[in-house]
Structure 1
Amino acid sequence: MPRVSFAPPSLCLAFLSLLNHYLPSLPPTVRDIDVPSLHRQQFIPSGYRPVGLSWRCCVLSLFQIHNETLNVWSHLLAAVCLVMRFMVFTILQGGGILGFRLLGSEGQGISVDFSSLPLVLYVFSAVTYLSCSAAAHLLQSHSEQAHYSLFFLNYMGVGIYQYGCALALCLYSSYAAWTQSMLGQIFLPAAAVLAWFSCATCCFAKFYLCRLYPLHRQLFQVVPLAVTYLLVISPVVHRLIMYSWTTSSAPFLHLLQVVLFLLSAFFFSCPIPEYFFPGRYDIFGHSHQLFHILLSFCMLTQQEALFQDFLWQRQGLVREFGEKHLLMACVSFACLLLCCMMTALIMTIRAQAQLTKGLRYQRDICR
């Protein structure tokens, strides 16, 4: 009687060997005492990935359960939702939202739709921030240098998003009374300076105050961010206070996003609930995760409000501000982007030099 073999074919074995090579098993999570202080979070004693993982393992940890999983997925999914919703909005409006539209019955030539460029820049800034944040939380366990570099990149995204919001809210969500006021006249230059200042102070606090002065670090980060937000949201506050809400649902969406942002800021500043229950919310539910989730919903809500404001202002936007003013506003966004990128790059170089110097010093002591 012939024997029946259940051995897998050689091709299958080769595939499994290749899969095992490129998809290695990830090490289990460890406690806070097993990772450097730089990678620890207050009142989160467990759920950490070991420091020193390869880039491949860091990427694969996207599908592992650890105390950064929800931080990564919340902003990653929010970025995807923002892009998909923007694409749907563009299709529903018949194209042209991306800044360019084909001319002529046969589609010859292009024209620039200046009224939609600030909206494009807003979506770009939001997706940039969310992507940088997700990358920082996902890959920071590679090394100390990677941790600093990635969070400098994250703070660059913060500055870009702040100015993207300022640009869109100033042009789409404001009324003439606010635009013609003294605050409205200096709004964009002041927002650009404060957005860059927020990026710079966050980078400075992350590198120079992270270990020895955690409270000072938080103040250096929270205060500039709060001042910038108060300026950026001023056209919306003026609109909510001075004008009727019955014209559209945009004011309600703006109010909702303000409430969501304030809640997210509260959880960013206060380690609640983990302060009262250390160890219970290590994997799901700690304050930074709540901050990420609330901020994601805030950004999705803000985008919907801006879509409605864009449709409301689109026809008269070029007539009110002029093509030159809109173009210069968009150019200022590129300048702010360059300044934030240079700040993050300079801080990365300084961090690398300091870490290399410290490593050499440790080696000299060991000798």
Structure 2
Amino acid sequence: MLTVKLPQLFYIHQMPHVFREDGIISGYRHPRSSALDCILSTFQLTNETVNIWTHFLPTWYVTEFFLSIKYPTNCRGKKFKLKLFIYIYIYIYIYIKTNTHTHTHTHTHTHTQYICLFNSGTIHRVPNICCAITYGAYVMPDRWINSTLHQYFVPVAVFNTFVCTGLSCYSRFPELEHPKFSKILRTVAFVYPFLFDNIPLFYRLLFCCGEGCAHNDTSFIHCQHLLFAFLACFLFASHLPERLAPGRFDYIGHSHQLFHICAVVGTHFQMEAILADMASRHSWLSRNTPAPSFQGTLGTAAFAVLGNLLIISIFTGTLLWSPNSNSILQNTFPEGSGQKKQ
């Protein structure tokens, strides 16, 4: 009979500091797990299992959603929906798929843990730039169309991704000595680009009234998206509920899992709102905005991704070759690794 031995799990006191999570006491994988062990652990209840599946399963929903959209056959209609393609395929599909891989393989080595976290920082920047491209095309208030803010909205969003990726990567280096400062940097890198990208939406919902405001039935859907986005941000920063009851939510119900769920639900409402905005404003936007170009769509997204990858390469090189980074790469093996969890 074919039997499969599942990887051993560990307690928090057995793990190097870099792998420890606030309020999560048990269910840790070995920090030098093999690739096979990481894959097997996706079918074993660990403190990462639900994180993996809450990213993997939504990829199928997004694929079905993407295939269900009716795309126009004429050239102008195709160009008009090009930015929607960037948003759904690059932002959602690749973002979710890559995060699944990150959560699966973070425990293959301490170096890999940091490199995966560096890449995770960039993965979270991809949604920001794709969201800015899409919001600039379909969500921008009527009175802001072709304004200076509209023209520079996407370039500034690209610059923001570079700054925030740098902050996110740098935050990993002082993590042992200054964990609160490190957490603040990562939270700023997560929250700031989201707030900037949603400036057109905040204005539409809070301040815009009368002619030129593009008020329609999508406002309520946008509000649902923002509600779940703020919940996701709160869970990401607070580490609740596991901080209130350490050890109770190690496997199911901790903040990162709830963060994933809120992010996915919020993304669903965001997709619905963008589609509704695009359908209701198609005629007006087609008359008053230039046709999308490669430079302003796929070219911009590619430039942002390559720039962020360059930043990651710089920090990865620093991690691997700088003698100052040795302290964060020590104690790779868990203490008492010979002791089984159960």
TM-score range, shorter chain: 0.7 to 0.9
Distance 1:302 1:352, change over 3 A: same
Shift of 1:41: 0.3
In structure 1, the residue matched to 2:24 is 44
Letter in structure 1 aligned against 2:29? R
Match 2:134 to one of 168, 172, 175 = 168
- String of CA shifts for 1:217-244, please: whole Å, max 9, x gaps: 1111112332211110011112223248
Describe the shift of the 1:249–1:355 C-alpha distance in structure 2 as closer, same or farther (beyond 3 A).
farther
**Count of residue pairs the alignment pairs up:** 324
Q: Which of 130, 136, 144 in structure 2 is aligned with 1:178?
A: 144
Checking the alignment, whether the CA contact within 8 Å between 1:163 and 1:192 is kept in structure 2 is: yes
Residue 39 of structure 2 corresponds to residue 59 of structure 1: yes
Query: Is residue 280 from structure 1 mapped to residue 260 from structure 2 by the alignment?
Result: no
Residue pair 1:71, 1:288 contacting (<8 A) in 2 also:
yes
Distance 2:32 2:131 in 1: 37
1:79 offset after TM fit, Å? Answer: 2.4
Cα distance in structure 2, aligned partners of 1:76 and 1:354: 35
Q: Structure 2: how far apart are the matches of 1:112 and 1:87?
A: 17
Q: What corresponds to 1:212 in structure 2?
A: 177
Equivalent positions of 1:185-334 (< 5 A) are 185-206=151-172, 208-241=173-206, 242-243=208-209, 248-323=216-291, 326-330=293-297, 331-334=299-302
From 88, 103, 113, the equivalent of 1:147 is 113
Amino acid at match of 2:157: A
Give 1:221's aligned amino acid. R
Relative distance call for 1:180 and 1:74 in structure 2 (3 A) is same
State the match for 2:336 in structure 1.
Answer: none
Question: CA–CA distance in 2 between the matches of 1:298 and 1:25?
Answer: 38
What residue number does 1:107 align with? none
- Unmatched segments (≥5 aa) in structure 2: 331-342
Corresponding residue SS for 1:63: coil
> 1 CA distance for matches of 2:42 and 2:323?
27
Q: Distance in 2 between matches of 1:296 and 1:355?
A: 40
The structure in which a higher percent of residues are helix is: 1
Please tell me whether Structure 1 or Structure 2 has the larger radius of gyration of its CA atoms: 1
Q: Contact 1:128–1:161 (CA<8 Å) still a contact in 2?
A: no
1:128 to 94, 98, 102: 94
Q: Is the 8 A contact 1:178 1:238 kept in 2?
A: no
- Conserved 8 A contact 1:257-1:298: yes
Unmatched 5+ stretches in structure 1: 1-12, 104-109, 363-367
Q: Output the CA distance in 1 between the equivalents of 2:101 and 2:316.
A: 16
The RMSD of aligned alpha carbons is: 2.6
Q: Any idea what the Cα deviations from partners look like across 1:224-273, whole Å, max 9, x if unmatched?
A: 33221111001111222324899754211111111111111011111211
User: In the alignment, what sits opposite 2:306?
Assistant: 338
Q: CA deviation at 1:179?
A: 2.8
Give the match for residue 7 of structure 1: none
Q: 1:357 to 1:258 in 2, by over 3 A?
A: closer
Q: Please, what TM-score do these two structures have when normalized by structure 1? A: 0.81
User: Percent identity of the aligned residues?
Assistant: 24
Q: Secondary structure at the match of 1:65?
A: coil
Post-superposition Cα deviations, 1:28-68, rounded to whole Å, max 9, x if no partner, equal: 32101222111110121111111211111112211111111
* TM-score (ref. length: structure 2): 0.87
Contact kept, 8 Å, 2:146 with 2:289, in 1: the verdict is: no
Indicate if the aligned counterparts of 1:28 and 1:49 stay in contact, CA closer than 8 A.
yes
Deviations along 1:326-367, one digit per CA (max 9) or x if unpaired, are: 4332122221111012222222232222489849x98xxxxx
Over residues 192-238 of structure 1, what are the superposed CA-to-partner deviations in whole Å (9 max), with x where a residue is unaligned?
Answer: 111221122111112x1222211111111112332211110011112
Q: 1:115 to 1:140 in 2, by over 3 A?
A: same
Instruction: Name the SS of the counterpart of 2:10 in structure 1.
Output: coil
